[in-house]
Amino acid sequence: MAALPYWRLSSFYLFYFALLGSTAPFLALYFDHLGFNAARIGELVAIPMLMRCVAPNLWGWLGDYTGRRLAIVRFGAICTLLSFSLIFIDKSYAWLAMVMALHAFFWHAVLPQFEVITLAHLSGQASRYSQIRLWGSIGFIITVVVLGRLFQWLSLDIYPVALALIMGGIVLSSFWVPNAQPVQGPRVAGDGFLRQLRNPGVLAFYACVGLMQMSHGPYYTFLTLHLERLGYSRGLIGVLWAVGVVAEVLVFLFMSRILARFSVRRVLMASFLLAALRWLLLGSLAEFLWILLFAQVLHAATFGSFHAAAIHFVQRSFGPRQQGQGQALYAALAGTGGALGALYSGYSWNALGAGWTFSIASLAAFAAAVIIATRMQEDRP
């Protein structure tokens, strides 16, 4: 990858998604360790996702307006670490809710702006994005396996320390990355963000982003607790999370070829339909290890191909001056859907059980497939 700061960009993704790998599987487990019930756990997990509804759009507008995206990334990374460190002061529900909201406000400022920087370094070769982004998946894999084993041997009391160390890695890597700006063409009439948002299929796409992330609510909030209560050890649960991300990495390696052969519309439809199948399997048949392994391999579609196709769609749907807002809206709709998913699953988990909770998730993913099939125009791969 000549003239591309491949390892600098990749290191940032590695640490950023290592943090996700430490929160998605284990945050609910930590809150359960502190003694909170399912409803409170769902609320605490939903708070960072709710911040994605607000923070990315604010920071995205600021990034597009000032052009200082890398400064926003570095500022956000530092403030994420500092605000999360408040968790060492108290562990009450109100204090934890404040910590979750405050650190997420800055954490969600970071990735959308960094995505624009990465795509600017790629100089329009968006299909090569997956070759860099796969290092985020590798960071996720390393974290879930190591922490899974660590929590099996030691107390979950060390969990906040592990998160703080990973956040420190995000800060350091953000200062290693060189800056890059999207090529700015001349302003023309009608090139505004709202005008581009009304282009055919764009609003439908964003609605489906929300539905897809809503369908992930039970997965990110309760999968670890669900599997632990089915008799799986924490070490094996960490490996099972890693299996899903390994499948994701393999998809990222081939996404440039997949997008060259299949349209974004078809890739998204397949991702949504496989997500609907995956949630049904996890809700009803997770006690069978071979079915659970198959369901985790489907993470290649429910996150891998979906995310790569979504980034590609956003990049081509907005001009250089609106890239930050386009990526921020993607993050915001994902946050809205994720928060709704965490909230509904928190309230339904005890009342309806795992099977019905995951069935609702399956319906949300299927609805996204229907919307894409009927509202997005076919595009040439």
Predicted local confidence at residue 180, as pLDDT: 81
Taking CA atoms, 219 is separated from 197, 224, 368, in Å, by: 30, 8, 17
- 222, 224, 225, 231: CA torsion to nearest 10: 140
Residue pLDDT, tens place only, 178-214? 888 766 554 444 567 777 777 778 889 999 999 999 9
215 or 118, greater pLDDT: 215
How far apart are alpha carbons 154 and 23 in whole angstroms? 17
Residues 6+ apart with CB under 8 A from 152: 233, 234, 235
Asked whether the beta carbons of 206 and 41 are under 8 A apart, the reply is no
Q: Residue 167 corresponds to which amino acid? A: M
Residue pLDDT, tens place only, 233-265? 988 998 999 999 889 888 888 888 898 899 999
Q: What is the mean pLDDT of residues 326-354?
A: 88
Asked whether the beta carbons of 47 and 104 are under 8 A apart, the reply is yes
Asked whether the beta carbons of 165 and 266 are under 8 A apart, the reply is no
Query: The whole model's pTM is what?
Result: 0.79
Say yes or no to pLDDT of 2 above 60. no
Q: What is the mean pLDDT of residues 290-309?
A: 94
CB-based burial, 105-138: b 16+ in 10 Å, e otherwise: bbbbbbbbbbbbbbbbbbeeebbbbbbbbbbbbb
The top-scoring range by mean pLDDT among 234-238, 302-306, 365-369 is 365-369
Asked whether the beta carbons of 39 and 197 are under 8 A apart, the reply is no
Q: Residue 256 corresponds to which amino acid? A: S
C-alpha closest to that of 107 among 47, 159, 161: 47
Lowest mean pLDDT of 16-25, 251-260, 266-275, name the range.
251-260
Question: At 91, which helix (H) or strand (E)?
Answer: none
With residues binned 3-state (H G I as helix, E B as strand, rest as coil), the percentages for the chain, rounded to 5, are 80, 0, 20
DSSP letter at 233?
A: -
Task: Provide the token pair at 332.
Answer: 């915001």
Per-residue pLDDT band for 6 (boundaries 50, 70, 90) equals confident
Would you say how long the chain is, in residues?
381
Across 179-292, the runs of DSSP E, i.e. the strands, are none
How far apart are alpha carbons 54 and 62 in whole angstroms? 13
Handedness of CA 158, 162, 167, 168 (dihedral sign): positive
How far apart are alpha carbons 369 and 271 in whole angstroms? 8
